[in-house]
């Protein structure tokens, strides 16, 4: 098993990092470039940059911010939000991204996922899964537009489909847990781990270092968080120390 990765997430709207609860009531958390540099210096293994309003507003991801971040950090940078075509992916990779995260556009046009994987390789394609509890057979449904719209897709069916289309990683965002600081959705992680053949990034709910350990033990390959890192209540070093103390390999 590869070493666990700890990934701060920069949710950006109008050029600023924001954070809310259950994807709502967003509040300002700082400048994305400054935070990216700080997390790089603090030992982050990767960074995820999500333009959380690009899809809903029907515009492109802010490439200038991506370029500025890429110039400050020397670890893998995943960028998502507003990606609709392979040309969008080309532009983001040229701007400095290493991987792209695709959510709503893949639901609308699954062929896009296959095309991205075919052109750039599966290692570039991260599928953003904004999931919440619903009346589907698995108990979890897929949402789109940053969690604003619940689709009729069953989460587990969609996970299987995106893997067949060439997904390289799964970014599993629990909308129910997002911003609550009550812990990652372990049931969701375990269900997806049971059917996933690609790395699983757990997101949503981190509030204590113990939560990161629990998510890793439930099957996550990488652990993503925002609020606790932005606020400084938990450091990346503390997370890695807790994982190591639990006998888990970290970078």
Place of tokens 């719209």: 149
Closest CA to 200 of 182, 177, 173: 173
Assess whether 11 carries a catalytic annotation.
Answer: yes
Contact call for residues 152 and 135 (beta carbons, < 8 A): no
227 CB-contact burial (10 Å; exposed 0-12 / middle 13-18 / buried 19+): buried
Active-site residue (options: 11, 51, 178, 185): 11
130 as an active site residue: the answer is yes
Rounded CA-CA distance 238/127 in Å is 28
Cα distances (Å, whole numbers) of residue 187 to 89, 106, 116, 190, 249: 32, 24, 30, 5, 23
Residue with tokens 């996970």: 159
**Of 148, 142, 244, the residue nearest 188 (C-alpha):** 142
Which of 45, 51, 88, 130 is flagged as catalytic? 130
Active-site amino acid positions: 11, 130
């Amino acid at each position: 098993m590869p070493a666990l990765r700890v990934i701060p997430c920069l949710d950006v709207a109008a050029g600023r990092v924001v954070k809310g609860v259950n994807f709502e009531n967003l509040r300002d958390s700082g400048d994305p470039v400054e935070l990216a540099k700080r997390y790089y210096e603090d030992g982050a293994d990767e960074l995820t940059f999500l333009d959380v309003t690009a899809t809903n507003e029907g515009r492109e991801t802010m490439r200038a911010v991506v370029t500025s971040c890429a110039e400050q950090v020397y670890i893998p940078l995943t960028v998502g939000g507003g990606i609709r075509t392979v040309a969008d992916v080309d532009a983001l990779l040229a701007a400095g991204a290493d991987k792209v995260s695709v959510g709503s556009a893949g639901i609308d046009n699954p062929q896009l996922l296959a095309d991205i994987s075919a052109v750039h390789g599966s290692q570039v394609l991260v599928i953003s899964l904004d999931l919440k509890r619903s009346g589907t057979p698995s108990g979890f449904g897929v949402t789109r537009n940053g969690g604003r719209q619940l689709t009729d897709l069953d989460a587990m069916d969609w996970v299987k489909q995106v893997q067949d289309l060439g997904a390289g990683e799964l970014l599993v965002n629990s909308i129910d847990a997002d911003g609550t600081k009550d812990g990652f959705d372990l049931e969701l992680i375990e269900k997806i781990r049971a059917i996933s053949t690609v790395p699983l990034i757990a997101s949503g709910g981190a509030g204590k270092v113990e939560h990161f350990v629990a998510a890793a033990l439930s099957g996550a390959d990488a652990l993503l968080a925002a609020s606790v890192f932005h606020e400084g209540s938990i450091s990346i070093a503390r997370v890695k120390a807790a994982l190591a103390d639990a006998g888990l390999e970290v970078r």
